Amino acid sequence: MRTLDRLDQMLDKAISGTFQESDYNESKLSKLENKWKHFLGASVLSRENIEKEKNKIKELISDISHQTKTPMANIRLYTELLKERLETSQNTSEGDIDIYRQENLNMLIEINKQVEKLDFLIQSLIKMSRLESNIVEVKPKCQHISELLDAVTLDIMPKAQQKNIKVLNTYTGTCSAYYDMKWTKEALENIVDNAVKYSPSGKKVIISVTEYQLYVAISVKDYGAGIKETDTAKIFRRFYRAENVHEEDGVGIGLYLAREIIKRENGYIKVKSKFGYGAEFMMYLQRSYV
């Protein structure tokens, strides 16, 4: 009867959410009570995990709602303006027709920019949620670093050329590391893309590699605006953007995604910067001993 009473008491506490394994001394419990204690302990842990997942989903929904609000409002605004102009187009004189067409074209270009921004934001949010919920597993394997650097440099080149920025990959070695090509390329591209985005025209971005005993460090150095000391601890937060870069396109997801990806490969990212003198991001990947 004492055993049944204790089991009943443990179950009541589990139902009310107040059950704690530490409240029960294992040395005094029977075999059945011990099994019951471990089962309820696992149930409490499972409930906590479910609660954490629910909070993550709530946070993600809130982020999506907040971040999509501006581009959606802009699309509606330009669409309404274009609609009004088309409705009054019959009153446009023949001499003003070219100006009228150009203004309409500018609005269409702006709408397209907002649609692209919205698409980029949604795709980034999808990647982020897939990573955070472990729907996609990052699978590192032994690969040459040069393959990763060549792929990233090739992809970023059109954007760099458009801004008249040279992206220089200085690595000529044959070192290997453990990384997932698809996801690590995503992480490194986000860092290089930021370097190009926040660098003035005519500058350069240098990609280099340092080989250590346990890690390979990929460095991305730019000569742009740099990062304030007060911002260096915040730049990896989701949706964080420093005040001095608000005028540039972006939503503040790239560095967050990069860190999450590299963390899943047992690596890490460091940053060095002096405001006004550029920044250097170093991505550390585990070395392979082949």
Of 23, 261, 284, 22, nearest to 145 (Cα)?
284
Of 208, 149, 140, 147, nearest to 178 (Cα)?
140
The per-residue pLDDT of the chain, averaged, comes to 79
Most confident of the following: 199-203, 219-223, 240-244: 219-223
CA distances for 248 relative to 120, 193, 217, 252, angstroms: 15, 12, 28, 11
Q: Residue 68: exposed, middle, or buried by beta-carbon count in 10 A (0-12, 13-18, 19+)?
A: middle
For residues 76-112, one letter each, b for 16 or more C-beta atoms within 10 angstroms of the residue's C-beta and e for the rest, the string is: eebeeebeeeeeeeeeeeeeeeeeeeeeeeebeebbe
Total-model pTM:
0.63
The 10s digit of each residue's pLDDT in 56-108 is 666 666 666 666 777 777 777 878 877 777 766 665 555 566 666 777 777 78
Backbone angle region of 239, left / alpha / beta, with phi > 0 → left and psi within -120 to 50 → alpha: left
The 10s digit of each residue's pLDDT in 215-230 is 999 999 999 888 888 8
**Out of 107-111, 205-209, 249-253, least confident range:** 249-253
Rounded Cα–Cα distance for residues 156 and 125 (Å): 21
CA distances for 166 relative to 192, 193, 196, 200, angstroms: 12, 12, 9, 11
Q: What count of other Cβ atoms lies within 10 Å of the Cβ of residue 184?
A: 28
In this predicted structure, the answer to whether residue 29 has a pLDDT above a threshold of 90 is no
Cβ atoms of 266 and 198 closer than 8 Å: no
Of 43, 46, 57, 44, nearest to 133 (Cα)?
57
Provide the pairing of β-strand 204-211 with 215-221: antiparallel
